[in-house]
Amino acid sequence: HMNFTVLIPLYKNNVASQVEEALTSVLGQSRPAEQVMVLLDGPVPADLSATLDRFAAKGVRVESFPVNRGLPTILNEGLRLAETDWVFRMDGDDVATPTRFEKQAAFLSDHPEVKLLGGQVSEFADIPSNSVLTRKVPQTYDEILRFSRSRNPFNHPTVAYDRRAALSIGGYDERLVDFEDYDLWTRMLQAGMRAHNLPDILVHMRTGDDFVLRRSGLRYLKREWAFLRKLRRRKYIGLPLFCLFIVIRLPLRLLPQSLLRLLYRRFLRPPC
């Protein structure tokens, strides 16, 4: 019998009503999780705190960390605190489809060799059922390997992974803010761990202008540069691809946000 913990990191900018929607979707699953764990990265506003108190009364485990330490560090804390074999990820502003856990648990039970499993997401602006677009990622192991050389092959909020497998390679790299998930997937793949993506939409993902804002500017460019250098050091990407990224990808981060938003919408929308 497979067992799993849902990890949901939150911080002060999470909106209480959105967190309520996210947690309601997690607790309303056709196949419930053994544990739902919220990780509070630093102090949060009173309305969010009150919302979490209500869900704590329904069995949600709330772990509070007094100082904001960043997403990769908080996720590593969650990995260590979880007592189950598997971890399922979810974000505090997204909505899980009612059969998400059931589909992933069934697939993993039938495919014990798979250590990392994701799926598709649909994006929405206001109401989950009003999808703006579907973000598709490759399904098979070979396709994922190929795709991962140039883009993130997983939608992070849909991912389920073997907790011990992730910990055995050091968990999330806490220096790689914004790229901690992509980095972990490539390290799992490089270690020979099998991976797969389901064709099903597993999560309705909230999108907005801040999606582009978070992926532009000098700070993001520096973080992407650190990640690309690590990929090259690990020989995950060759020199030609590394040079191509420097010429094409990095300058994109310094474009005006209106132009970057247009490009993302048309050509560049990556998995998250």
Q: What is the pLDDT of residue 269?
A: 53
What tens digit of pLDDT does each residue of 10-65 get? Answer: 999 999 999 999 999 999 999 999 999 999 999 999 999 999 999 999 999 999 99
Q: Closest Cα to residue 161, out of 187, 136, 135?
A: 187
- Burial class for 227, CB neighbours closer than 10 Å (0-12, 13-18, 19+): buried
How does the average pLDDT of the chain come out, rounded?
Answer: 92
What tens digit of pLDDT does each residue of 212-247 get? Answer: 566 678 888 899 999 999 999 999 999 999 999 999
Q: What is the pLDDT of residue 264?
A: 65
Whether 69 shows a pLDDT value over 80: the answer reads yes
From residue 169, give the alpha-carbon distance in Å to each of 13, 66, 114: 31, 27, 16
pTM: 0.92
Q: Closest Cα to residue 26, out of 109, 118, 100?
A: 100
Task: Give Rg (Cα) of the chain.
Answer: 18
Q: Closest Cα to residue 113, out of 34, 22, 188, 17?
A: 188
